Amino acid sequence: MLKNIFIVLISVFLVHISSNISYTIEPDEILNDQKQELRARNISKKIRCVVCQNQSIDESNAPLAKDLRILIKNKIKEGSSDKEIYKFLTDRYGDFILLKPPFKLSTLMLWFMPFVFFIIGILFLFYHNKKSKKFN
């Protein structure tokens, strides 16, 4: 009996102090439709938790992350497309909220350059190989 009281007290103590900390994806959040749930998780994994250090809202404990997760699920239930959901979020929080940088003029270099590096590398290898054939 005393043990139960202690457990209740400790859990109330912890929950009260952590009332601003909820734990990641709670069971009542999970959608019944498996396909929709998967969609929601996939989108959430690409949305940054803006009050955390480098986490997605899928992983985060923060209250704002939970709010956004639920918002995304509601929008999926209402029939919004992935694109519309991303636009909804970036309209309010800017591109910062996307973990996958958008394809824009300002991010052209970001997406383009790795490919360019790779091509330069390959070209260099072919140049080197050609020269070796000439010499040997």
Partner 1 sequence: MNKQLIIIPIVIFSLILLTFFYLLSIERNPSNIPSNLLEKKVPNFESESLLKNYIFDSSKEFNDEITLVNFFATWCKPCKEEHVYIKRFAKEEKIRVIGINYKDSTKKTIKWLGDLGNPYSNVLLDKNGRIAIDWGVYGIPETFIVSSEGIIKYRHAGPITKKIYKKINKIIMEID
Partner 2 sequence: MAPFLGNFSLWLSLFFGTYQFFISKKNSKLKFINIAAKGLLISSLISFFSLLHCHIVSDFSVLNVFQNSHTTKPLLYKISGVWGNHEGSMLLWILVLTIFNYFIFKLYNEKNSSFISKALETQAFITVGFILFTILTSNPFERLFPIQDNGLGFNPILQDPALAIHPPLLYIGYVGFSAVFSISIATLYNSEKIPWHSYMKPFVLTAWTFLTIGIALGSVWAYYELGWGGWWFWDPVENASFMPWLLGTALLHSLIIVEKRKSLQAWVLLLSILTFLLSVIGTFLVRSGILTSVHTFALDPSRGIYILAFTALLGGYSLILFGSKSKKYFDNSYFSFFSKEGSILINNILMVVVCATVLLGTIYPLIIEAFTNNKISVGEPYYNSTVIPIILPAILIMGIGPILGWGKEDKFKTFQKIIPSIFLTIIMTIIIFFVYQTYTFIGIAGIILAFWIISNNLFLLFKKNKKYSIGMIISHLGIGLLILGITGSSVWQKEKITKMKMGENINIKTYNIIFEKINEIKGPNYLALQGNFLVLDNKKQVVVKLKPENRFYPITNNFTTEASIHTNLFRDLYIVLGDGNPNEGWIVRIYYNPLVIWIWIGAVIIFLGGIIALRVNLKKLKISS
For partner 2, which is the closer residue by CB, 79 or 106?
A: 106
- Contacts of residues 66-71 at CB distance under 8 Å and 24 or more positions apart, as own/partner, are 66/22, 66/26, 66/29, 68/44, 69/25, 69/29, 69/40, 69/44, 70/29
Alpha-carbon gap, residue 93 to 50, rounded angstroms: 9
Name the minimum Å distance from CB 94 to partner 1. Answer: 4
117 binding partner (options partner 2, partner 1, none; Cβ < 5 to 8 Å by kind) = partner 2
Name the minimum Å distance from CB 50 to partner 1. Answer: 5
Supply 107's token pair.
């991010």
51 binding partner (options partner 2, partner 1, none; Cβ < 5 to 8 Å by kind) = partner 1
Name the minimum Å distance from CB 7 to partner 2. Answer: 6
